[in-house]
Chain A
């Protein structure tokens, strides 16, 4: 059996990959290159003159307290989203792994939220938790909580984390379920005979055996929280109140498109690009080697 395809013409294989290459080059590399170039430029407020300033945009960012705060905020958001989404998804997956009646229906329903677009997720949660419109807000106020995410920055942050984590549960759930099902039943049976009660069995056998899945999902969730939460933030809080929900990605948008500071915005997106390259690098390195337990 020959694994390599044999083409009659030398040009055909290139013609076949050309559309894909064109898409990648035009829509990914070209804008990325633009961002890199832009990050070395400084424009005046009216866009009339542009000068080449080397790393000044980057140096400005390093000195900018707001940027530092956005970094801390983004890491906090990522951590909170990843941990809450992962733990809740794991709980659901463990329950869905049990042979129960109607388990297929249950599993299918749990996957649905993944199909909802991030801005729609934002709108859904806004409807439920809007201070004057939201159904849940009524109950919260009934419980004596002074609920107003439009004014209270911490509450706004909680809302973003909630919506973003909820959106990601389905994805995590799928991977956890697959991970759980790949654990040989006999290993768990051996643990049961070895006298481990269900909780202990979970923490000493299931959880360690899931560690490759957990690590993979952790990276995916951090990348998600870094970049894909833009839609949710934009529909729910627009970075506010104040700057309490302005993450790095949102800051790129608000500084560049709203603030008109294209040079700084480009420098920020280059920094984000480097972060995602590092994260993906870590992931490939470990996924290929498999996390050893």
Chain B
């Protein structure tokens, strides 16, 4: 049971490279915090700093009311699940889970009951005597989880624990992790680059980019009101359509309040194919370039007829002029057809020209 608070945490490597440029995050007791961002954004470094595996060069890390900057990993009362699981290859599943408890001098009977309980929860009971190399990827992942939960630590740290699993298992384990965390009610910090994992797991979502926090908050709130174009394009799949606009164009369509708008964002699902222009909304004429039918929904890729200029480069960005429209079902216009799509006023996301600021019209 503990809060984890990061106060202007920084990490500068000896070469001068600034991996973390001042991060403030507050994870409440029992909350599930997900750090998400593209590779190289510093999310794993930040997690390793919380674990004590990387030194902190600025700011404070507070676990359960104690500043742990100088505390050894062993004494932080945390447990970590690694991306490659980091199981001890020469130890049986039982000993892998018991190792941390033995190091702390726990009685063998207590160790046995804890390991057996964890094995039961994780359905590992028949495999306790096996070595890690005799297990499948999913079983190894569960052993890594077991090793963390038997310790009953204050905080769980997860470093992309599901990225080595196949898609189906990943979804199953994602649900398992969430259920387990809810039941144990242990504060957790989870690093991933997968926005879907981030959305589904998080109580608090921290979107990171370039060593900085872009936005912190409830996942749905972030989805509905992304603070920057980076967040807008990173959270949500397929990504939000971002279009650069000329002020006068916006002004004429949206009214006078939006004079410094540079970028207009519309999520694929917020478009409807229609000939009408909703009041205060926008309409775009498109030529259909490609169709993707995934069953329950269909993605229509269209090109805008007049493209003025492209938006600042952000991950997940569409090629200039390409717009994705998401429509339910499998009915779709033919490739090459000219269609008109429109979005209503309250589904428009407006950003400053540099994409760093969200504007509320």
Which residues of A come within 8 Å of B, CB atoms? 184, 186-187, 189-197, 200, 204-205, 208-209, 211, 293
**How far, in Å, is B5 (CB) from chain A's closest CB?**
20
Tell me whether B74 and A192 are in contact (CB under 8 A).
yes
Tell me whether B103 and A195 are in contact (CB under 8 A).
yes
7 contacts between A and B (CB under 8 A): A187-B88, A189-B51, A191-B99, A192-B72, A195-B74, A196-B74, A208-B90
**How far, in Å, is A98 (CB) from chain B's closest CB?**
15
Considering the complex, which residues of chain B in the window 234-267 have a beta carbon less than 8 Å from any beta carbon of chain A? none
What residues on A are CB-neighbors of B99 within 8 Å? 191, 194, 196, 204
Question: Which residue of chain B has its CB nearest to the CB of A196?
Answer: B103
Q: How far is the CA of A208 from the CA of B147 in the complex (A)?
A: 20
A193 in contact with B51 given A205-B88, A209-B89, A293-B89 (CB within 8 Å): yes
Q: Is B205 an interface residue (CB 8 A)?
A: no
What residues on A are CB-neighbors of B84 within 8 Å? 184, 186
Considering the complex, which residues of chain B in the window 88-120 have a beta carbon less than 8 Å from any beta carbon of chain A? 88-90, 99-100, 103-104
What residues on A are CB-neighbors of B103 within 8 Å? 194-196, 200
What residues on A are CB-neighbors of B78 within 8 Å? 193
**How far, in Å, is A28 (CB) from chain B's closest CB?**
39
Considering the complex, which residues of chain B in the window 54-105 have a beta carbon less than 8 Å from any beta carbon of chain A? 72-74, 78-80, 82-84, 86-90, 99-100, 103-104
Q: Is B53 an interface residue (CB 8 A)?
A: yes
What residues on B are CB-neighbors of A196 within 8 Å? 74, 99, 103
What residues on A are CB-neighbors of B87 within 8 Å? 187, 190
- The contact of B82 among A186, A211, A293, by CB within 8 Å, is A186
A194 in contact with B74 given A186-B84, A200-B103 (CB within 8 Å): yes
Q: How far is the CA of A194 from the CA of B82 in the complex (A)?
A: 13
What residues on B are CB-neighbors of A189 within 8 Å? 51, 53, 73, 80, 82, 86
A187 in contact with B53 given A192-B73, A196-B74, A196-B99 (CB within 8 Å): no
- The contact of A195 among B80, B83, B100, by CB within 8 Å, is B100
Q: How far is the CA of A196 from the CA of B75 in the complex (A)?
A: 10
Most buried by B among A184, A190, A293: A190
What residues on A are CB-neighbors of B88 within 8 Å? 187, 190-191, 205
Which residues of B come within 8 Å of A, CB atoms? 51-53, 72-74, 78-80, 82-84, 86-90, 99-100, 103-104, 147, 151
Q: How far is the CA of A184 from the CA of B151 in the complex (A)?
A: 22
Knowing that A184-B84, A204-B99 are A-B contacts, what are 13 other residue pairs whose CB atoms are under 8 Å apart, sorted by A's residue number?
A189-B73, A190-B82, A190-B147, A191-B88, A192-B53, A192-B72, A193-B74, A193-B80, A194-B147, A194-B151, A195-B74, A195-B104, A205-B88
- The contact of A184 among B51, B72, B86, by CB within 8 Å, is B86
Tell me whether B86 and A186 are in contact (CB under 8 A).
yes
Tell me whether B104 and A190 are in contact (CB under 8 A).
no
**How far, in Å, is A75 (CB) from chain B's closest CB?**
30
What residues on B are CB-neighbors of A205 within 8 Å? 88
Q: How far is the CA of A124 from the CA of B207 in the complex (A)?
A: 64
Q: How far is the CA of A186 from the CA of B89 in the complex (A)?
A: 12
Q: How far is the CA of A190 from the CA of B147 in the complex (A)?
A: 10
What residues on A are CB-neighbors of B86 within 8 Å? 184, 186-187, 189-190
Question: Which residue of chain A has its CB nearest to the CB of B72?
Answer: A192
Q: How far is the CA of A208 from the CA of B74 in the complex (A)?
A: 21
Q: How far is the CA of A187 from the CA of B89 in the complex (A)?
A: 9
Q: How far is the CA of A187 from the CA of B96 in the complex (A)?
A: 11
What residues on B are CB-neighbors of A191 within 8 Å? 88, 99
**How far, in Å, is A213 (CB) from chain B's closest CB?**
13
**How far, in Å, is A194 (CB) from chain B's closest CB?**
3
What residues on B are CB-neighbors of A204 within 8 Å? 99
**How far, in Å, is A181 (CB) from chain B's closest CB?**
16
Question: Which residue of chain A has its CB nearest to the CB of B157?
Answer: A193
Tell me whether A209 and B90 are in contact (CB under 8 A).
yes
What residues on A are CB-neighbors of B147 within 8 Å? 190, 194
What residues on A are CB-neighbors of B72 within 8 Å? 192
Question: Which residue of chain A has its CB nearest to the CB of B78?
Answer: A193
Most buried by B among A186, A196, A205, A293: A186
Q: How far is the CA of A193 from the CA of B76 in the complex (A)?
A: 8
Tell me whether A190 and B80 are in contact (CB under 8 A).
yes
Q: Closest 8 interchain pairs by CB?
A: A293-B90, A194-B100, A186-B86, A195-B103, A190-B86, A195-B74, A208-B90, A186-B82
**How far, in Å, is A120 (CB) from chain B's closest CB?**
40
Q: How far is the CA of A192 from the CA of B86 in the complex (A)?
A: 12
What residues on A are CB-neighbors of B52 within 8 Å? 192-193
Question: Which residue of chain B has its CB nearest to the CB of A207?
Answer: B90
Q: How far is the CA of A205 from the CA of B99 in the complex (A)?
A: 10
**How far, in Å, is A182 (CB) from chain B's closest CB?**
12
Question: Which residue of chain B has its CB nearest to the CB of A208?
Answer: B90
